[in-house]
Amino acid sequence: MAEAETTINITQKGSVTASTARPDGPVIEVRNPGTGEIVGAVPDSDADAVTAAARRLREHQRDWEAIGPAGRKEWLLKLQDWLIDNTQTLGDVVQSETGKPRVDALIDPRFSIDLIGYYARRAEKFLADDHPAPHSPLGRVKKLTTVYRPYPVVGIITPWNFPLAMPALDVIPALAAGAAVLLKPSEVTPLSALELARGWAEIGAPPIFEVITGGGATGSAVVAVSDYVQFTGSTATGRKIAAACAERLVPYSLELGGKDPAIVLADADIDRAAHGITFGGLFNSGQVCISVERVYVEAPVYDEFVAKLTANVKALRQGLDGPEGAHDVGALANESQVEIVQRHVDEAVAAGATVLTGGKRTGVGTLFEPTVLVDVDHTMSCVTEETFGPTLPVIKVADEAQAVRLANDSRYGLSASVWTGDKKRGERVARALEAGAVNVNDVFSNLFNFALPMGGWGESGVGARWGGADGVRKYCRRQAITVPILPTQQRELIWFPYDPSKLRLAFGAMRAAGARGLRRVGISGTATTQGVAK
C-alpha cells in the first residue's frame, strides 16, 4: 500500500481509527455492528485512484517475478513473522469492525499464518518448469517445457465475514506466484485488510501489494484494470464480474453463495453430529460461506438429534467480547444481514415452521439469537435461499436416498457434510452429492487442508482456490517452449516448397506413431476385409 493512501491508528483500548491524506474526498465510515460505534474511516476511492494503484504495481511486478519463488519466500515468511508478532492487535482490529467473539477474531490472523507457511515453502516446487513427455516418438526430437509466468496484476475483491483471513486466502498464493496484487476489501470491514498492507510495508517488502478501499464502484474499477480477478461474495455480484471479465477476455475465479446441507444418517454418532452441526451452522454467527444451512435427518434418529441440537444451541453464550473473550456467538455484520435472517425465520413460521429456540434479535446491536427451526420444507426461503446467519432448519427424511435427493435440490453446491458410523457409506454418499467439497463426520475440515481445492459447483462459483500446486498456478499464464534436441536442417520435411515424396514420408511416420494395428502401415479395416474376400 502506498504510504499516502490510508493510515490506521490503534488505541490502547483496541479501537481503530483511520485517517486519509485527502480529508476533503469521499470517506466511508466503519462501525462496530455490535455497538454502532464508529471505529474508523477510509477513502471511497474513485476509478482514477484504482488506475493509479494498478500502474504503480505494474512498475514493480517484473522485479518481484524476477526474484523467483525462493526470493519471494523470504518476504512472505517475514510477513508471517509480523502476523505472529501482531496477532493480538490484529484480533483487536477484527473485533472492532465485526463484533466477533475474541476466539473467532483471533482465527483470522492464525489462519493467515498457517496459509503463508504452506505456500511460501512450497511455491518453488509448485512453480518449477514442467517437462512433459511427448505424445509420440516423433516428439522426442524436441525438449518440451511448460513455464508458469504470473499474471502481472491480480485483482482480489473480498467480503466482510473474515476481514483478514479472506484477503489472505488469495493474496498469499498470488504473491507467491509472482503477481502484484490489488486488493479491494469489503467497505463494511476494510480495516483488517489495511492492517495486512501495513504489515507488508513495515517489513520493507517490495511495493507489489496495495489495498484500495471503497464501495461497488471501486470494485468495478479493480475489475477493469486487473489481468486476473478473484472474487468472493454474492452470486448476483459474481455474475456481473464474470460478464465484465468476459468482455475484456480476462480470466477470473468466483467463490459465491452457498446453502450447505448436512445429512445425519441413522447409524451416526448423534452426539458428535449434534455438536458438529451446532458449530458448523453457528460459527461466526452463521456468516461462513460453507456454514451448515440445511439439515436432513433420518427418521429413526430425528427426535434424538433435534433434542440434542436444540440443547447445544440453547447453551451457546452470545454477546460482545472484549479482548479477554467470554462468548461463543457474536454480532451479524450489518442491519441488512439481520433483516435477511429475520425474514427467513418469519416466513418459515408463517408457513408452518416451529422455532425451538431463538428466532429473534437480542436487542443489542445486530445480535440475532441462535435459532433452530423444524417443520420446514423446500418451499420456504430458509431452505432455498442463502441465509448467512445463525439459523439451523432441520428436515426429517425417510432414508438416505431422500436425504441425497433433497440435499441436491439446490442451485448452490459449495460444500456438504455426511454423518454416519460407516466411513465407506459416508464416502459413497459424498460422491452422490452435487457439491465442491464433502466432509464425512466433520465440518470445515476441507477449509484447513490447502492441498485440496476449494470451489463451488452450480451457482456457488467458477474455479477454485488452493488445491496444492493449482493454488499458485491459477495466478499464472502457462507458456509452452520447444527447443530442438537433435541437429537441425535448413528445412523440415513439411516446409515449403512442398515435396510429395517427403510429405508421404512425414505423414506415414505420423500415422505409424499414432494409429493401431495394420492401420499403422496404411492398411485400413475395409481394405483388409476386401483382401480376405478376394
pLDDT in tens, the chain (534 residues): 332 333 333 332 333 333 334 445 899 999 999 999 999 999 999 999 999 999 999 999 999 999 999 999 999 999 999 999 999 999 999 999 999 999 999 999 999 999 999 999 999 999 999 999 999 998 999 999 999 999 999 999 999 999 999 999 999 999 999 999 999 999 999 999 999 999 999 999 999 999 999 999 999 999 999 999 999 999 999 999 999 999 999 999 999 999 999 999 999 999 999 999 999 999 999 999 999 999 999 999 999 999 999 999 999 999 998 888 899 999 999 999 999 999 999 999 999 999 999 999 999 999 999 999 999 999 999 999 999 999 999 999 999 999 999 999 999 999 999 999 999 999 999 999 999 999 999 999 999 999 999 999 999 999 999 999 999 999 999 999 999 999 999 999 899 999 999 999 999 999 999 999 999 988 876 544 444 333
First vs last Cα of the chain: how many Å apart? 82
Q: What is the DSSP letter of 361?
A: B
Question: Cα(382)–Cα(386) distance, rounded to whole angstroms?
Answer: 7
Does the active-site annotation cover 255?
yes
Instruction: State the pLDDT at residue 322.
Output: 83
155 DSSP β-pair partners: 182, 229
Q: Which three cell numbers stand for residue 290?
A: 460453507
Question: Cα(41)–Cα(213) distance, rounded to whole angstroms?
Answer: 10
Q: What are phi and psi of 235, to 5 degrees?
A: -65, -40
The dihedral of CA 56, 60, 62, 65: what is its sign?
negative
Burial of 48 (C-beta count, 10 Å sphere; 0-12/13-18/19+)? exposed
81-86: list long-range contacts, CB under 8 Å, 24+ apart. 81/203, 82/199, 82/202, 82/203, 83/109, 83/112, 83/113, 83/116, 83/199, 84/113, 86/195, 86/199
Question: Cα(423)–Cα(432) distance, rounded to whole angstroms?
Answer: 14
Q: Where are the domains of the chain?
A: 46-256+470-478, 260-446, 491-533
Q: Which three cell numbers stand for residue 38?
A: 464508529
Distances from the Cα of 414 to the Cα of 70, 274, 311, 322, angstroms: 34, 21, 28, 33
If you write DSSP's letter for every residue of 229-252 in order, what string do you get? Answer: EEEES-HHHHHHHHHHHHHHT--E
Please tell me which residue in 97, 187, 210, 255 is annotated as part of the active site. 255
Instruction: State the pLDDT at residue 526.
Output: 57
- Is 3.40.30.10 the CATH classification of the domain at 260-446? no
Instruction: State the pLDDT at residue 533.
Output: 38
Q: Which three cell numbers stand for residue 343?
A: 425474514
Instruction: State the pLDDT at residue 523.
Output: 87
Instruction: State the pLDDT at residue 381.
Output: 98
Per CATH, the number for 46-256+470-478 is 3.40.605.10
Q: How many Cβ atoms from other residues are within 10 Å of residue 89's Cβ?
A: 14
